[in-house]
Homo-oligomer: A and B are copies of this chain.
């Protein structure tokens, strides 16, 4: 009989014990005899009782809820992270409250997270506003910026080594004879973009080169399409492009092949960042920088869980190593193959 609501009181009555006993039977650490626990569990099963997490959260002050904030899911980086993060948190007994942000309603969203008494916040988007990040961090709740970094904020952060990734790409391109190297930026005020770009520029400099040209794609497919067209509108065209993430790189490759009828990598080399699954697909075979998904998720959950358990919010900034994934979108010198 699927009754509307079964409470611990109902179970207590059936088992002829106190409500406290029922509560204890369902809490791991509590002081109950085995016989009592068995008796309660039996009655609970009979009634289909499940403890009410809302009531539990209220009395214990532990909602076991983690808010995850994402701006969009069309760049595959985020679904992958979200899936792994969600699984990891579930394993640790937490649950994910998912929030999508529009640039317009960000403050509102933070308020809503707070109302649900979440015990931690993960902000997983390169394009979230810094003020929002700061606002979250001021709540006294552990906040982890995943794939994002705000120096002035007390929020922890987990990123890959974006600058080093940019440097690796620069070295790859210069080592292999590219001379007119362009960059397509993501969001210009995101830390991922500035780090990737500055690392890239420093790498070019080390090789005695300068950036040939530059355009901005704002991390969107459409923006990248337009940016690619701009780069090739000039008289002298680039022979290599570093695109600030894979999602944009696909758009760039499409423009180059289908609109400009150039070959990759024979006419233009393309490198991306993220190593999203599509990068390995036959249609693209994109040479890119790997983001260490699993370690990033692991670090994020660890920071959160540690801070929740110890009730101390200390800022931690984790930067994880990246590495190149060489496929066939960058032309290599014969000897280096």
Contact = CB atoms under 8 A, between A and B. Distances in A.
Interface of A: 2, 4, 50-55, 57-58, 63, 68, 72-74, 76, 78-80, 82-83, 86-87, 90, 95-100, 102, 109, 111-112, 114-117, 138-140, 221, 250, 253-254, 257-258, 277-278, 281-284
A250 B74 CA distance: 17
A109 to B, nearest CB: 8
Nearest to A56: B115
15 contacts: A2-B140, A4-B140, A52-B115, A53-B117, A54-B57, A54-B116, A58-B58, A73-B73, A78-B79, A86-B99, A87-B100, A90-B100, A98-B98, A253-B283, A254-B281
A278 to B, nearest CB: 6
Contacts of A96: 97-99
Nearest to A254: B282
A109 B2 CA distance: 18
Nearest to A221: B277
Given A51-B115, A54-B57, A86-B100, 13 more contacts: A50-B115, A52-B117, A55-B58, A73-B73, A74-B80, A74-B277, A90-B99, A95-B112, A98-B98, A253-B282, A257-B282, A258-B282, A283-B284
Contacts of A258: 282
A140 B6 CA distance: 13
A27 B68 CA distance: 27
Most chain B beta-carbon neighbours within 10 Å: one of A52, A74, A277, A282: A282
Nearest to A53: B115
Nearest to A55: B58
A87 B76 CA distance: 18
Contacts of A116: 53-54, 95
A58 B100 CA distance: 25
Contact of A117 (B54, B117, B140): B54
Contacts of A114: 50
Given A250-B281, A253-B282, A283-B250, A86 B98 contact: yes
Contacts of A109: 90
A73 B112 CA distance: 25
A100 B98 CA distance: 12
Contacts of A139: 2
A63 B116 CA distance: 10
A117 B6 CA distance: 12
A247 to B, nearest CB: 10
A18 to B, nearest CB: 21
Contacts of A257: 282
A155 to B, nearest CB: 14
A87 to B, nearest CB: 5
A39 to B, nearest CB: 21
